[in-house]
Each structure stands twice: as structure tokens, then as C-alpha cells.
Amino acid sequence: MTNGEEARVSAAVFDAVCAKADAAARAQKTLARANAEAKNELLNAIADALDARADEIAGANELDMIASRDAGMDAGKLDRLLFDVPRVAAAAQGVRHVATLPDPIGEIVRGYNLPNGLRLQQTRVPLGVIGMIYEARPNVTVDVASLCLKSGNAAILRGGHAAERTNAATLAIIRDTLVEHGFDPALVDTVDEYGRDGATAMMEARGHIDVLVPRGGAGLIQAVVRNSKVPVIETGAGNVHIYVDRSGDLDKAIPIIINAKTQRVGVCNAAEKLLVHRDVAARFLPAIARALAEANVELHADDDAYGIIDKAGIDGVNLLAATDEDWDTEYLALTMGVKVVDSLDEAIEHINAHSTGHTESIVAEDYSAVEEFTGRVDSAVVMVNASTRFTDGGVFGFGAELGISTQKMHARGPMGLREMTTTKWIGYGTGQVRG
């Protein structure tokens, strides 16, 4: 679906997708009654099965990689698509970690007694059937399945054409393990066989799917947000910024910037923009630009940054003049926008105007500047003297993540088990009636 397309789907596909969602809902009712021990045993069995059959998944992934490479997929997306044996092993280890986490279901959020003796408790319960629409991210299949099963939810997945073979192989293993352990395989299902129509049907399946989570590029996310009749948790594209303050330490700044930009270029927490305070720009930018040039990063610089970098005469630097469009672009490539700002205020205002609300970082030694930046920057995660690459559910201790929410309702930032629950109130009375 493109950004401007209106959601339309045949009745046959819509009915088929709703049938899958309804089967998932029935299975979820049983899963919701399972205790933590049973769910953890299931997750450990899934992890063992992924390890045992990793070659099957990697073989399917190799076919997806060849097809996508031949189709001209860029390096960043190919990196996301890769799901070889080491990455399968890492995903399996993530499943095991999810099994060790506290079960959020049944947790009492708060409770108190009313003056009339009625005892109220707010407790965590599953969301129900979670729909996930994602692209070229086969690790998400494992992450979502493990988080949903641990939190008592069912999952309906649309993983995209590029990873179709990989996702099919992975789901077959997960569903086989569900059956072996006495669970309904409808708990984790896919609509990939229906192609884009399957995704559209998921968006229209209000009353069958409880919440929809898109995870991918800005076009996919916005198409789902605009067209979905099902409530959406919006995960954001990552127009991520690093600001080097006048009090910043260059020895910290360079490794932070290089790591944030180059460790993995095709992920949403990779840095896309660099802002440098004017007071240190002339001293810092040549060294930073030299390090970025050595990492083959193309720089799109504003007039001031361009002049400083160009004057430095750096060998091998690929320097272009930035356009207005640059400041709103998520490159997902070895490209970085560079801007000189006159003040901390200007940096904050620029970030809040152009960021997607994902992650920003400040490099600074001045405590007041740090406090001002962390207090006023309106993003889901703000780092201080650290790489933006740390914004990740696994790194945050969640084992995996459903995605990184950039909205402000229900969940914000990396979404783990607690973010995959809602609450309900239970009132314990002794015959009270309201007068």
C-alpha cells in the first residue's frame, strides 16, 4: 500500500483474515489462563527448536537475501533482512531471556478500599489479539511471538514479501512447538499468503484484532496510521539526532557519533543528524568529519558546517550541501546531516521541529545543559553522553521488543511485556449498593 492508497480489500480476503483473528482470539482465551511456569516452558522449547533448526531458517533466508539483492534492495535493508545462523541463535537467546522475566499478567497495579468497604484492585491483563505489520525484519517474527506468548496475547503477523520464506520457516517451527506443548497454533499466525491485501484486511478488522502495530519505514507506518480502523500503536521512523554542546568532550563525541551512525545503518536507532554548537564547531567538526569520512559516511552539511569541513581539506570526505529536505529525512544509509547551531535552545528547537520522536543524544559536560536538553527534548528516549544505538528492548532488559513507540498514549519507547498489557478493575464487595 502506498501513502495515498485508500484501504480496499476483497470480501474473501477480509473474511479469511477475520477468521484467523477469531481463531487466535479463542486460543488466546486459553493462553490467558496459563500460569507463568507453563508459558516459560513453552518459550524455552521454542528457543531450543530455533537452535536445532537454525539451518532451515538460514537456508530460507539465503533465498530471500538473493532475491532481494537481485531486486536492488539497499545495504541497510539487506542488513535488516539477514537472519543467518548467528542471528537465529541470538533471537533464540532473546526468547530464553523473555522466559526469565516476571510475568506481568495478574500484577496488581494499585488497590485501595473505598469508605464503604468496597475493595478495588487494578490488575494487568493481556491486550488480546495483536496484529503486527512489518517488512524485511525476520527477527521481529521471533520477538513478537515470544513477547505475545509470555504476556498472554495472540499474534497475527504480516511480515512482508522480502522475508516471506524466512518468516514461513520460522513460523513453522514456532507453530510446531505450540502443538507439541498442547497449545493451539492459532496463537501465532500469518496473513502473508494474502500479500498486501492481507495487511489491508488487518487494518479493517476492527472487533477481530484488538491492536495493530506497524514496524518499518515511514511510508508503511503512516499508511497504517491513516488507514487502520483498528487502534494503532505507532512505532516511529528514526530521524535521530546527536547534539554536541559547547561543553562537549571531543574524545567522547567521536566514538559516540561513529557508533551511532555506522554500527548498523539500517536500524531506526541509528543517528541521522549531527548538530554542533558554534563555539566548538571550528575545533570539533574537522576531527568528527575525518572520522566519518574514514567510515565512508557522506555528509550533507549546512552552509556553516560545509565551510568548516571544506576548509579543513579532509582526504576522502564526501561533502554535499544540505537541502531543507535533509533535515526531515531518515537516510538508513551511510549518510549524515550536519548543522552548526548558535545555542542549546536552537538545537532543542531544531530537534523538536524535525525529529520523529524516537531517540536523541547530547554530548555535554555541563550539568545544566544536560538537564535543559533532557527536560525539553520531546522524544521517547534521550541519551546523555551515549550512543543512540542503546534504544532497544533487548538492551533495556526486555529480552525483545514489540517495537519502539513514538506516540504518547499507552506506551512510549521500547515496548516489552508490560507495554503489551492493559488493565482492568476488580471490585470486591460484601453487599454494598450505591445510594
Give the distance from CA 3 to its chain's centroid.
20
The partner residues of 361 in beta bridges, in order of sequence, read: 242, 383
CA distance between the termini of the chain: 55
Q: Is the pLDDT of residue 206 over 60?
A: yes
User: Phi and psi for 422 in degrees, rounded to 5?
Assistant: -120, -170
pLDDT tens, residue by residue, 330-339: 998 999 999 9
Q: In this structure, are residues 340 and 346 in contact, taking their beta carbons and an 8 Å threshold?
A: no
pLDDT recorded at residue 5: 43
pLDDT tens-digit profile of 138-181?
999 999 999 999 999 999 999 999 999 999 999 999 999 999 99
| 321 strand-pairing partners | 301
Q: What is the predicted pLDDT for the residue at 348?
A: 98
Whether 288 and 324 have beta carbons less than 8 Å apart is answered as no
Contact status, residue 415 vs residue 233, Cβ threshold 8 Å: yes
Q: Are 18 and 197 in contact (CB under 8 A)?
A: no
Mean pLDDT value across residues 331-358: 96
Mean pLDDT of 65-77: 93
What would the DSSP string read from start to end of 221-254?
HHHHHHH-SS-B-PBPP--EEEEE-TT--HHHHH
Write the pLDDT tens digit of every residue in 399-420: 788 888 988 888 889 889 999 9
What is the model's pLDDT at position 4? 40
C-alpha pair distances (Å), 432 with each of 39, 121, 424, 426: 38, 16, 20, 14
Residue 274 in this model has a pLDDT that exceeds 60 = yes
Give the SS3 label for residue 161. Answer: coil
Measured at the alpha carbon of residue 271, what is the angle toward residues 95 and 268, in degrees to the nearest 5? 40
Instruction: Give the pLDDT of residue 142.
Output: 96
The CA-CA-CA angle for residues 402, 404, 406, to 5°, reads 135
Task: Give the CB-side neighbour count of residue 79, counting CA atoms within 13 A.
Answer: 14
State the average pLDDT over residues 95-122.
Answer: 96
**Mean pLDDT of all residues belonging to the chain:** 94
- For 375-395, give the DSSP string: HH--SSEEEESS-GGG-STTT
Contacts of 120 (CB under 8 A, 6+ apart): 111, 112, 113, 114, 425, 426, 427, 428
Higher-pLDDT residue of 75 and 61 is 61
Percent of the residues in the chain that have a pLDDT greater than 90, as a whole number: 85
Closest CA to 243 of 235, 252, 231: 252
Instruction: Identify the CA nearest to 295 among candidates 312, 328, 270, 323.
Output: 270
Q: Express as a percent the part of the chain with pLDDT over 70.
A: 98
Amino acid at 160: G
- pLDDT of residue 7 exceeding 70, the answer is no
CA 98 to the chain's CA centroid:
17
| Beta bridge pairs of residue 129 | 154
pLDDT exceeds cutoff 60 at 216: yes
Q: pTM for this one?
A: 0.84
3-class DSSP state for residue 294? helix
pLDDT at residue 3 in the model: 42
- Residues facing 332 on adjacent strands: none
Query: Given a cut of 90, is residue 219 above it in pLDDT?
Result: no
